[in-house]
């Protein structure tokens, strides 16, 4: 999708999101997965013909991409920017005690394959405060010293060595209203944490569950969950 939208494009995106079934399909893909039409139809509570019509509009509107494998078609968000917009649009209008209604989801979750929630914003804030993460004209950049600190805390050195080459962006967290690390940098960093066992996917939904050892490793970086 274009970085700068014209009024016409913005109005078109608004009309796409105004339909609850289409919004449900998009939110089902915020975790970065690719899903078949039947699964998205169930998520939206509509039949197959209606789902096909909605998916066609979302594809034409540039919000979705499709991957074809043999006779099967899998739909995913068109990019990390779309996920960021969806997260930002989900912001509640005023502070509430538990915007998600799910403590685990608020604590840590996936936002298009990068770490979000309380843990995600705490990590981003600590990396910025320590000087390991820098804000540049191209977005967020992890400095070599940051990669070294992550490796020292227990992440795979080969995985951390490539992190400074990746572009990141500040993604506005919809529950915490602060930034977490998005973009390719956020995806690779979260992947390394999953591979190291610091985090694991919940059996259902988008929640990411930090392990006891993972919390200890985060603490070595100066990252602690509130409470």
Helix axes 48-60, 20-28, angle to 10 degrees: 80
User: What is the pTM (predicted TM-score) of this model?
Assistant: 0.70
Percent of the chain with pLDDT over 70: 88
pLDDT band at 210 (very low <50, low <70, confident <90, very high): very high
Closest by CA position to 113, among listed 185, 31, 57, 169: 31
d(CA 92, CA 42): 25
SS3 letters for 70-85?
Answer: CCEEEEEECCHHHHHH
Which pLDDT tens digit goes with each residue over 105-156? 889 998 888 999 999 999 999 999 999 999 988 889 999 999 999 999 999 9
Which pLDDT tens digit goes with each residue over 149-205? 999 999 999 999 999 999 998 887 878 888 899 989 999 999 999 999 999 999 888
């Amino acid at each position: 999708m274009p970085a700068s939208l014209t009024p016409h494009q913005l109005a078109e995106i608004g009309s796409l999101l105004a339909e609850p079934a289409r919004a449900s399909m998009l939110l089902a893909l915020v975790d970065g997965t690719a899903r078949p039409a039947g699964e998205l139809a169930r998520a939206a509570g509509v039949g197959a013909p209606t789902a096909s019509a909605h998916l066609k509009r979302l594809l034409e509107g540039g919000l979705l991409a499709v991957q074809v494998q043999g006779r099967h078609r899998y739909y995913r968000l068109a990019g990390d920017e779309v996920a960021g917009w969806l997260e930002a649009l989900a912001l509640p209008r005023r502070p509430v005690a538990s915007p998600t209604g799910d403590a685990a989801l608020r604590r840590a979750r996936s936002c298009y394959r990068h770490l979000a929630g309380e843990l995600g914003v705490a990590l981003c804030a600590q990396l910025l405060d320590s000087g390991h993460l820098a804000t540049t004209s191209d977005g967020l950049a992890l400095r070599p010293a940051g990669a070294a600190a992550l490796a020292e805390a227990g992440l795979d050195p080969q995985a951390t060595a490539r992190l400074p080459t990746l572009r990141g962006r500040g993604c506005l967290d919809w529950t915490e209203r602060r930034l977490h690390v998005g973009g390719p940098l956020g995806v690779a960093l979260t992947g390394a944490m999953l591979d190291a066992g610091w985090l694991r996917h919940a059996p259902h939904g988008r929640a990411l569950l930090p392990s006891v050892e993972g919390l200890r490793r985060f603490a070595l970086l100066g990252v602690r969950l509130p409470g």
